[in-house]
Structure 1
Amino acid sequence: MTRRRRERTRGDLYEEVTARIIAQMEEGTVPWVQPWTSKGPGSPALGLPQNAATRRPYSGINILLLWGAAQEQERESQLWLTFKQALALGGAVRKGEKGTTIVYADRFTPQREKQKAEESGGAAREVAFLKRYTVFHVDQCDGLPDDAVTGRVPLPPRQIEPDAERLIEATGADFRVGGDRAYYVPSQDFIQVPPQAAFRDQINYYRTCFHELGHWTGHATRLARDLTTNFGTKDYAREELVAEMASAFLCAEMGIVPTVRHADYLASWLDILREDKRAIFRAASLASKAADFVLAFRTPQETDQRAA
């Protein structure tokens, strides 16, 4: 494949995914919330999508793509794998089944750039690439072992809030409870949230805490995102988009149905996505890293329990 063709394919894929998400949002569907707005038969199980062969969670834009596919296909678990992985496990994708496209993004250094760097003594320039992959839901396969098709056992309702409490406390974030607004102050590195009793739905306290923890991960001592943006700017809206998706990823992982915490930014987010076909990829990647940063504070026992 020529360089020009690779660039065109990569660009088309950015455009294809972004156009799909814009269309969903224009119809009033928020892709990081929608999978659980219906609780009827076929509603996807809460949690991040996982690879059924490796049990590794998918990340970034692939979370949104697979959540959307699980909803559209009425899948009740979040387990996916490639054609070859199904064969390696002793199973097979059923004839006629249609796969779901996900992406793999990375960077590499072309040989010509390495040569230029050697000749000039400078740094070699890396080139980003985006590649399509096709995965299938375990329901589309036959002959897979039981442990490959068994989804995660949902937490009992009585355990969801204690688990969320423990995770919030484990982060060591400076939470200050009081007032009637929720916000994060980067310059002083603290989170302010209203008392839980102030929330009409108690579970919204945890959704709000996770949203603010999403911002908290961007501090210079953590993931070092730019948190100096002014309210009302596009950069501010971009950070809100990261925190919104980070909260959704955290909520889903902790057994809490995600919701949109700042619906008033929907128009701004749509503007950002329309202007930049890579924006949703960047935001989803940063949100995934933020969620992983917070979830890393769980004990190994808690992680194993949720993966069981």
Structure 2
Amino acid sequence: MANDVYIQVNDRILAALEQGIIPWKRPWTGQLPTNYDSGKQYRGVNILTLGIAEMVRGYSSQYWLTFRQAQKHGGRIKRGEKATYIVFSDKKVREVEKEDGTKELKVYHFIKSFPVFNWDQTDGVPRKEAGAGLDPDRDLIEVCDVVLSKMPNPPAYRESGSSAYYMPKDDLVNLPPMDTFKTTDGYIATKFHEYGHSTGHKSRLNRSGVMGAVSFGGEEYSFEELVAELTSAYLCAGNGIDNTLENSSAYIQNWLSVLKDDKTMFLKASGKAAAAVEYICGKGAGATPAS
């Protein structure tokens, strides 16, 4: 079942890339996909899969609901409409017997998927007005600074040279000077990317792609790059930062190749990225380091 979910999500991402859509490069329409009943915005990979559906199918609403929710509100799903599947992770705790005969509690993590529909696919469900938009005149640098100020135990930061990178040995994020970037959004998206890498430091979430011996272009390198890409994408999505790319043909071909080779990579990287976002936003400081 888990493998089916991995393949299902991966195939959606590949299909978007093949259409020239980079799913983690702003696939949403300004308002994040939101649960119709709870009003909570979707997180992680669900931002991307629902955002892709909104773009490809031309949905105008940010609200999503299940078949039963539509019925509860006195409506129905229109005949012939196709669902979009979202995923969530859960866990079970079971008592297991060890080789020496003693017993211990073991935690099993698993993922599930289930279908949802956009409000545009319904009849008879009351319309909900879009949530309040972000202030177009806000200071984006201030927005970025506020996000990163919540990060416990942050890395050192400097602006110098002409390269953006994270150096685990010195626990240092380096960016070129801000005035060398074409746009403020591009500067912030790059900064979020490198801070995403920094969450993998041994003093934080301790990812092997950051702290281990990783070969450039190898599988673990690609995985860590995807974690940082998605971390940046999720932070940009939540704060209205435009992280689109220009001249992205080679970029798309690279990720098509990588994701075709490993069907599980995208969903696993998305989970690591969600944990990185939680850490940067000050909600995951107590998390147990994971490889």
**Which bracket does the TM-score occupy, shorter chain normalised?**
0.7 to 0.9
In the TM superposition, residue 125 of structure 1 has moved relative to its aligned partner by: 5.4
Q: Which of 245, 263, 281 lines up with 1:277 in the alignment? A: 263
Deviation at 1:23, TM superposition (A): 3.2
- 1:161-202 deviations in Å (ceiling 9; x for gaps): 132233234435432122211111122222111111111223
Contact 2:60–2:120 (8 Å) recurs in 1: no
Query: Is residue 213 from structure 1 mapped to residue 195 from structure 2 by the alignment?
Result: yes
1:152 corresponding residue in structure 2: 131
Partner letter of residue 120 of structure 2? D
Which residue, 198, 202, 215 being the options, matches 1:230?
215
In 2, the alpha carbon distance for the partners of 1:225 and 1:248 equals 19
Moved more, 101-110 or 176-185: 101-110
Supply the distance in 1 between the matched residues of 2:247 and 2:267 (Cα, whole angstroms).
20
1:97-176 alignment runs, 5 A limit: 97-109=81-93, 114=95, 116-117=97-98, 120-123=101-104, 127-142=108-123, 144=125, 149-161=128-140, 162-171=142-151, 172-176=154-158
* Residue 242, structure 1, aligned to residue 224, structure 2: no
Aligned residue pairs, count: 275
CA distance, structure 1, for counterparts of residue 111 and residue 270 of structure 2: 15
Aligned pairs for 1:263-302 within 5 A: 266-296=252-282
More strand by share: 2
Higher helix share: 1
Deviation string 1:132-155 (CA, Å, 9 cap, x unpaired) is 311111233455566xx2333222
Q: 1:92 aligns with which of 49, 60, 75?
A: 75
Distance 1:25 1:123 in 2: 44
One-letter code of the match for 2:281?
Answer: L
Find the counterpart in structure 1 of residue 24 from structure 2.
Answer: 32
TM-score (norm 2): 0.80
Output one character per residue of 1:98-126: Cα deviation in whole Å (capped at 9) or x when no partner.
Answer: 3222223334356xxx3645983254555
Separation of aligned partners in 2, 1:71 and 1:276: 26
RMSD over aligned Cα atoms: 3.0
Asked if structure 1 preserves the Cα contact closer than 8 Å seen for 2:78 and 2:121, the reply is no
Greater shift, 239-248 or 210-219, is seen at: 210-219
Provide the C-alpha distance between the structure 2 equivalents of 1:77 and 1:54, rounded to a whole number of angstroms: 15
Residues 13, 269 of structure 1: alpha-carbon distance in 2 compared, 3 angstrom cutoff: same
Gaps of 5+ in 2: 284-291
- Residue 204 (str. 1) matches residue 186 (str. 2): yes
CA distance in 2 between partners of 1:259 and 1:175 (Å): 24
1:255 deviates by 0.9
Matching residue of 1:71:
55
What's the CA shift for 1:240?
A: 0.8
Q: How many percent of aligned residue pairs carry the same amino acid?
A: 36
TM-score (norm 1): 0.76
Q: How many Å separate the matches in 2 of 1:270 and 1:122?
A: 45
Q: Structure 1: state its 5+ residue gaps.
A: 1-6, 37-43, 298-308
The offset of 1:277, in angstroms, is 1.7
Residue 283 to residue 262, structure 1, CA distance change in 2 (3 Å): farther
